[in-house]
Amino acid sequence: MLACFLPASGLLKSDFFPKSDQALMTINIEAPAGTPLESTSELVRSIESHLQEEKEIASISTTVGQLSDLSSGDSRQGGQYATITINLVKKEYGRKESSMSIADRFRQEFSSFSGATISVSELSGGPPAGADFSLRIASEDSDTLETVSEDVIKIVRSIPGAVNVRSSNVALPSEFRLEFDPSALATYQLSVSQAAILLRNATAGSEVFKIKQAQKEIPVITRYMTGYTSSLESILSLNIQNRSGVNIPVSAVARVVPTPALASIERYNGKRVVNITASADKSTNGTEIQATFQQKIISYQLPSNAEFLYG
């Protein structure tokens, strides 16, 4: 009877597919949301130059614009992502260092890399079966969900052997909206439609006429030069002319309201859900990480409007 409870208690290491020496691993690069492909490519090149000095590597291939995690099966797309797939020299051809040891070494070497988050993933001994550690957090309140998610991430990162700690909350580039003040518009003799037309012309342009060419009509669109709309500050400095001929800056009649954006939102029973995942390095396994996490959250005060979802 005692043996039935040992894995859950963490006293006995248990893993259906323990990590074994494989010839394939990936290095995933995640730059801040909104980073263009060109900038991500520059980050990748600096990592590639380091890898080229490795004698245990047979070949590498890089994909910019996509992240693929071997251990968890996680896949994401965007200019801020990149994946370097590494084929190691096969053991029978003279590789001396195990893939697990190489992965741990890379994690240490790239831990202080600036400009992006670097994670290293290697294959387990069996088919992909998801992350070694996974916990879903549910709440109807987005602020509570974000706070609890950050707390859980800190706890998991403090567990020895837990690596590649990641949240399913994928942020998109920051967005904002402009809210017009009705009283300010009235004071400056302006209307919402006047302001809306100006902003539409500034950001998207407006069609002034069409040119007929053969059987086609080519629209001619006028818009502000790039320098006038390249930043939020430049848009706020644009002038709207009122019926008295006075130029009024957008900033005098509108305020900026930041709007957080996420790539996707998972829901469970009407609540928003965030999934926190982690991989195990060669010193531990998912069962041990889960057991340690359970011990660490005993003293954690989970808000009444949030819950942990297991299974």
pLDDT digits (tens, 9 = 90+) for 67-93: 887 766 678 888 889 999 999 999 898
Question: Residue for token digits 């290095």?
Answer: 27
Domain count, the chain: 3
The verdict on 26 and 126 lying in the same domain is yes
- Give residue 208's domain range: 175-259
Whichever domain contains 55, its CATH number is 3.30.70.1430
Run of H or E residues at 274: strand 271-280
229 vs 143, which has greater pLDDT? 143
The verdict on 99 and 29 lying in the same domain is yes
Q: State how far the Cα of 278 lies from the Cα of 280, in Å rounded to an integer.
A: 7
Q: Which tens digits make up the pLDDT trace of 208-266?
A: 788 887 778 888 877 777 666 777 888 888 888 888 889 999 999 988 887 665 556 77
Phi, psi (deg, nearest 5) at residue 48: -60, -40
Closest CA to 277 of 171, 164, 172: 164
Whichever domain contains 145, its CATH number is 3.30.70.1440
The verdict on 270 and 163 lying in the same domain is yes
Q: Which tens digits make up the pLDDT trace of 158-213?
A: 999 999 898 887 665 666 788 889 999 999 999 988 888 888 887 777 777 888 87
Whichever domain contains 211, its CATH number is 3.30.2090.10
The verdict on 29 and 71 lying in the same domain is yes
Closest CA to 107 of 46, 43, 60, 164: 164
Stated pTM of the model? 0.61
The verdict on 110 and 43 lying in the same domain is yes
The verdict on 272 and 242 lying in the same domain is no
The verdict on 251 and 292 lying in the same domain is no
Show the tokens assigned to 251: 């900033």
Run of H or E residues at 291: helix 286-296
